[in-house]
Amino acid sequence: MKSYIYFIALLVFGLSTTTIEAQSANDIFRAAGSPHNPKVSVAFNKYYTAEGLATISKKIADAYPELVKRKSIGKSTQGRDIWMLAITDYSVGDADRKPAFYVDGNIHSNEIQGGEICTYTAWYLTESFKDVDYVKQMLKDRIFYIVPTINPDARNNYMKEGNTAHSPRAGLIALDDDSDGLFDEDGYDDLDNDGSITRMRRKNPNGNMIVDPLDPRKMIQIGPDDVVTAQRYENLGGEGIDNDGDGSINEDVPGYYDPNRDWGWKWQPDYIQRGAYKYPFSAPENRAVADFVLTRPNIAGAQSFHNSGGMILRGPGAEEDKETYNRVDARIYDAIGNKGAELLPGYRYMVVYKDLYSVFGGELDWFYGSRGVYTFTNEIFTGFAYYKNKNGDRDQAYKAEKDLLLGDGFTNWKPYNHPTYGEIEIGGFRKNVGRATPGFLLEEEAHRNMVFTFYHAHHMPLLSVDNITEKSIGNGLKEITAIIKNDRLMPTHASQDLKYKIERPDYIFLSGATVLAGMIVDNDDFNITTEQKNNPSKIKVDNIPGNSIIKVRWIVKGGGKVTVTVDSAKGGLISKKQS
């Protein structure tokens, strides 16, 4: 009956029953570097709410069950799931033992690009797996843990409520400081309900601003020697009213809390580090990430996406912590960071405390300082992207908004009757201009930042048993020597890891014969070795350096062809049988 009614409705309203088919592969000419006919179609020229990102991640997981496992690693303050995609080739090896790369984004509410870049990375890995050998090999050897947004509540608040490009700058995690069921109720106010907090100005014969005669969008300040005949204005700041009747406007900002001051490394209280909350990991979002990471000792590299300014950042966050990053690890950071500056035109590789400001309790310092994981934070988007010739200033932003956005990023000045100021005008850049990458540039931004993470992940430890040799030494005894090779830049233990013994040592096993003695070969030419007298079949190695080898030796009795197995938390589990 329902089908009959639906058919009649189609006839009455003249609707077509034609089904829209997916694009035929025969109608597509492949563009290099992009999945050409993906199972999951996603437009990467727009931004998605937390629910939108969750829907996309589910579609990716459903389309590629052989490559993706999706799970919630915890709940946000307001009860939203924090979704994680674990991506690898599950048909090869033990996924939990592969070297792992962790990626997240959007810890700050207005720093939204990370959500799309993380999602693009997951999408690209899955959609390119069958066609791109680099991706196929990467997912054979590594596993990616991707968390598109670790702050879904604040992401939605920024997108759905009236905000500026910079507010709530600190990434308010939906904290209800005064327990009234609301937050952000006493800061700026979206007077015209257009979703963006712009600016207020008022005509004033004694004002110190005039409209730029070359660009009516801009206000310029009157110089001390200027002769002014044009209408003068005064700048009244961002949109807002006196919410609490105390005679001031926009001074009652919401409770300031910065989730990137909440991590448990060199944490400082609010009176020292502005934005700190109660204690390290006092936010459930960060606690969820920490709990996940602490149970994944295979994580060897990590990346967090923020905005803006076009920066590739490494720690230390504070000068007081500068001894944590020694020269050995700094060289590894420099090699990866400098390559990033090449892959990301207009970006600069920088050290937080030297080139920006001090940060205590930051995520990247926790990952390295507490877990020994090489970690970068990328500040996404720079004005260089507009014209590809210089980093932007305010004038360039006006120019690009006109030339490239065709006026889509600015609210033209319009009158408003303010309850305190009377007749004023409201106008200015919308909240999606300035920090957020424009839609037409977003996919390029996502791809370039993704390949930087791939370069970093590529240089996590890649171990192999390079050679196994046998030598008879008489009386039925044999000397078995194995060379363990690390073909990548990063060691199995960062210097910080070795200093504080964060992760267990690596172990090299011999099976298939009775082991009488085991040792590390320090110098083969001079036959200098370090014997391990206890449990000699399982040799303990503190570290397998990057682009280097470790040589081990056993004295054995009997047996046939032996097998050498390397067991490294960050380097994986690999074996080789003597040929």
Q: Map tokens 């926790």 to a residue.
A: 366
pLDDT for position 354: 94
For the chain, the maximum distance between any two Cα atoms, rounded to a whole number of angstroms, is 108
Whether residues 246 and 395 fall in one domain: yes
Whether residues 559 and 528 fall in one domain: yes
Position 453 in a domain: yes
pLDDT for position 251: 65
CATH classification of the domain holding 563 = 2.60.40.10
Dihedral over alpha carbons 113, 452, 375, 435 (to 10 degrees): -20
Whether residues 228 and 375 fall in one domain: no
Position 483 in a domain: yes
Position 163 in a domain: no
pLDDT for position 183: 46
Closest CA to 288 of 103, 147, 461, 493: 147
Helix (H) or strand (E) holding 467: strand 463-474
Whether residues 492 and 408 fall in one domain: no
Q: Map tokens 């077509």 to a residue.
A: 16
Whether residues 216 and 285 fall in one domain: no
Position 215 in a domain: yes
User: Which positions ≥6 away from 307 have C-beta within 8 Å?
Assistant: 110, 111, 112, 113, 114, 379, 380, 381, 435, 436, 437
CATH classification of the domain holding 285 = 3.40.630.10
Separation CA 509–CA 518 (nearest Å): 10
For every residue of 332-343, which 3-state class applies, written as one string? HHHHHHHHHHHH
Alpha helices in 277-426 (DSSP H): 284-294, 327-343, 352-355, 363-365, 371, 384-387, 394-403
Position 332 in a domain: yes
Q: Map tokens 């999951």 to a residue.
A: 40
Q: Find the radius of gyration of the CA atoms of the chain.
A: 29
Q: How far is CA 302 from CA 49, 333, 472, 487, in A?
A: 24, 12, 46, 19
Whether residues 55 and 125 fall in one domain: yes
What is the number of structural domains in the chain?
Answer: 3
Phi/psi for 467 (5° steps) reads -160, 140
Whether residues 245 and 286 fall in one domain: no
pLDDT for position 255: 58
Whether residues 375 and 445 fall in one domain: yes
Whether residues 493 and 519 fall in one domain: yes
Whether residues 269 and 121 fall in one domain: yes
Whether residues 449 and 403 fall in one domain: no
pLDDT for position 253: 56
**Is this structure's pTM higher than 0.85?**
yes
Q: Mean pLDDT, consecutive 10-residue segments, the chain of 579 residues? A: 46 46 77 93 97 98 98 95 98 98 96 97 98 98 98 93 80 49 59 94 96 95 92 95 77 72 94 90 96 98 96 96 92 98 97 94 97 98 92 84 96 96 96 95 98 98 97 94 98 97 97 97 94 97 98 93 97 96
Domain that holds residue 237: 176-254+385-429
Separation CA 544–CA 547 (nearest Å): 9
Position 168 in a domain: no
Whether residues 122 and 263 fall in one domain: yes
Position 169 in a domain: no
For every residue of 414-436, which 3-state class applies, written as one string? EEEEECCCEEEEEEEECCCCCCC
Structure tokens at 500: 């504080």
- Residues taking part in catalysis: 379
Strand, helix or coil for residue 455: helix
pLDDT for position 536: 97
Structure tokens at 83: 């979704």
Q: Are 104 and 305 in contact (CB under 8 A)?
A: yes
Position 265 in a domain: yes
